[in-house]
Amino acid sequence: MEPELHPDLKPLEFLLGEWEGAGVGGYPTIDSFRFGQEISFTHIGKPYLIYSSRTWLLDEEGGLAGPLAVETGYWRPRPDHEVEVTLAHPTGIVEIYVGNVAFSRVELRTDVVARTTSAKEVTGGHRLYGLIGEDLGWAYDMAAVGQPLQSHLSAQLKRVK
pLDDT tens-digit series, residues 32-70: 999 999 999 999 999 999 999 999 999 988 888 999 999
Binding-site residue ranges for heme b: 29, 120, 152
Question: What radius of gyration, in Å, describes the C-alpha atoms of the chain?
Answer: 16
3-state secondary structure 24-79: EEEECCEEEEEEEEEEEEECCCCCCEEEEEEEEEECCCCCEEEEEEEEEEEEEEEC
Dmax (CA) for the chain in angstroms is 48
Binding-site residue ranges: 29, 120, 152
Report whether 24 contacts 35 (CB < 8 A). Answer: yes
Q: Give residue-wise pLDDT tens across range 74-95.
A: 999 999 999 999 999 999 999 9
SS3 101: strand
pLDDT attached to residue 64: 87
Domains of the chain: 7-159 (2.40.128.20)
